[in-house]
Structure 1
Amino acid sequence: MTNFIPIFPLSIIVFPGENLNLHIFEPRYKQLITECFEQKKPFGIPAVVNKELKELGTLVEVSEIRKVYDDGKMDITTRGIKVFRTLELVRTIPDKLYSGAIVTYPDDLDDGSRLQMQKVVQGIKELHKLLQVSKDFKKPEDELKSFDVAHHIGLNANEEYELLGLFREAQRQEYLKRHLNKVIPLLSEMEGLKEKVKLNGHFRNLQSFDFDL
């Protein structure tokens, strides 16, 4: 299925199911958000990575306009719906300040493993413990899927975009697991190094070594 959507390119990766807060201040996007909210229609956030507009993005809906300022700026909350692929950019739309795109929606296979996801979540907990951070996933652990946790494991923009382009839950789970298996040992080594640095120059209780001569 293909259709036309208004677009709001941003230098972030938005995942389906994600709640995203935005501050809207440009006139073209104030117009876009006002129309989409009043007409209850979604818009697209194409990913911009390294200042390059990518073909994949996420269709989102305006779930709430939280505040409208005197000058028309807005604080809004959006929610990701599904991934789209851009077929053609429509840079100029009559009577509109914003641009649009002709898009299609790739099929997504929900073939993930609950056991695999449990391993991913356990890895995330270990990662957060090493980093001494605390995160709330807003969902029970047994309901979590890959997109729910993807922003919580330190992926860079290119890696998040790669994840967005995987259209099977099993592939996404494997991607997250491999990332965690790579970074956790590195962080563990860093923690060990930090402890060694802390001990440098301090008295320690060391057991002597007896030479049997």
Structure 2
Amino acid sequence: MRQLALFPLNLVVFPGEKLNLHIFEPRYRQLVRDCLQDGITFGITPYLNGGVSRRGTEVRLLDVEKNYPSGELDIRTKAIGVFELEDFQRELPGKLYAGATVRDLPDDAAADPALHERARELIEQLYGILGLRRLFLDLPTNFRIYDVAHQLGMSSEQEYALLEADTEAERQLLALSHLERILPVLQETERLKERVRLNGHFKNLTPPTF
């Protein structure tokens, strides 16, 4: 276990994700200075249902994109791993920002091949319905659920469930359950839109034989 600075936010960040942040609060400006001076990393813990979640994602500062005269900052970061809180401190000693003792969690990235292929099929359907086929074409064949999680239309709570899953196979099952639930709704919505568009047009219909 080790101590890690924390930056709670109303979002879920996944390992491998690059995240750009605008920093304006004094406590997080101090955190960025410490990252630059001491090379520390920090954790982003989802702030859900009125509290700091037990699991979070460690991120590394890549660079400061812009310094504003007001002291505000635009920064680029990259998520590098998942951890679990053992305790929480609203302020670390001598600091303005929060922190915690954390336990690093292993990354079990082994995917189930059959689930992977099924997920790929459903993601292609989803992106097709949403007019985002380019996203699918750019998707690497060995994608992980983390790579597409923000493009699946999940709620923050559902995304957090992915972060809580210990293995890629578990994440695949969660993603498939979500896709199998929403795709029929989206497909029916598309059919309804088509019926609305055709209303009032001349229709070439074949009468029934009776």
Comparing 49-58 with 79-88, which one deviates more in the overlay? 49-58
**Match in the other structure for 2:128:** 129
1:56 paired residue number: 55
Query: Any conservation in 1 of the 2:10–2:47 contact (CA below 8 Å)?
Result: yes
Query: After TM superposition, where is structure 1 displaced by more than 3 Å over at least 4 residues in a row?
Result: 134-140
More deviation in 44-53 or 70-79?
A: 44-53
SS at match of 1:94: coil
- Which residue of structure 1 aligns with residue 142 of structure 2? 143
Structure 2 Cα separation of the partners of residues 120 and 56 of structure 1 = 25
- In structure 2, the residue matched to 1:89 is 88
Distance 1:154 1:63 in 2: 28
Aligned position for 1:43: 42
Q: In 1, are the aligned partners of 2:61 and 2:76 still within 8 Å (CA)?
A: yes
> In structure 2, what is the Cα distance between the partners aligned to 1:110 and 1:74?
34
Residue 35 of structure 1, CA deviation: 0.8
What corresponds to 2:16 in structure 1?
Answer: 17
Aligned partner of residue 90 in structure 1, secondary structure: coil
Q: Which moved more, 1:130-139 or 1:193-202?
A: 130-139
How many equivalent residue pairs? 210
| CA displacement, residues 39-70 of structure 1 (integer Å, 9 cap, x when unaligned) | 22110111111332111111110012111111
Deviations 1:4-34 (A, max 9, x none): 0111100000001110110000010001012
Asked if the contact 1:11–1:51 (Cα under 8 Å) also holds between the matched residues in 2, the reply is no
Which secondary structure state, in structure 1, belongs to the residue aligned with residue 71 of structure 2? coil
Structure 1 regions of 5+ residues with no counterpart?
Answer: none
| Cα distance in 1 for residues equivalent to 2:14 and 2:136 | 14
Let me know the Cα RMSD of the aligned residues. 1.9
TM-score of the two chains, using structure 2 as the length reference: 0.92
Which residue of 2 is the match for residue 27 of structure 1? Answer: 26
Task: Write the distance in 2 (CA, Å) between the matches of 1:191 and 1:137.
Answer: 19
Q: Would the aligned equivalents of 2:55 and 2:83 in 1 still touch at CA under 8 Å?
A: yes
For structure 2, list consecutive stretches of 5 or more residues without a partner in the other structure. none
After TM superposition, the structure 1 stretch with the greater mean CA deviation from structure 2, 201-210 or 34-43, is: 201-210
1:174 is matched with 173
User: CA, structure 1 residues 101+84, in 2 after alignment: closer, same or farther (shift >3 Å)?
Assistant: same
Shift of 1:137: 7.7
Q: Distance in 2 between matches of 1:57 and 1:9?
A: 9
| TM-score, normalised relative to structure 1 | 0.91
Conserved? CA contact 1:124–1:152, under 8 Å? no
Describe the shift of the 1:15–1:139 C-alpha distance in structure 2 as closer, same or farther (beyond 3 A). Answer: farther
Q: Residues 75 and 149 of structure 1: is their aligned pair in 2 closer, same or farther, counting only changes over 3 Å?
A: same
Contact 1:137 1:149 in 2 (8 A): no
Residues 78-127 of structure 1: per-residue CA shift (max 9 Å, x gap): 11111111111122333311111111122332221344323312321210
CA contact (8 A) 1:24 1:74 kept: yes
Aligned to 2:4: 5
Give CA-to-partner distance per residue, 1:134-171, whole Å, 9 cap, x none.
Answer: 56489761231111111110010110011100011111
Deviation at 1:133, TM superposition (A): 2.7
Residue equivalent to 2:207: 208
Q: 1:95 to 1:203 in 2, by over 3 A?
A: same
CA distance in structure 2 between the aligned counterparts of 1:148 and 1:49, rounded to whole angstroms: 22
Q: Taking every aligned residue pair, what percent have the same amino acid on both sides? A: 39
- 1:103 and 2:102 aligned: yes
Query: Where does residue 68 of structure 1 map in the other structure?
Result: 67
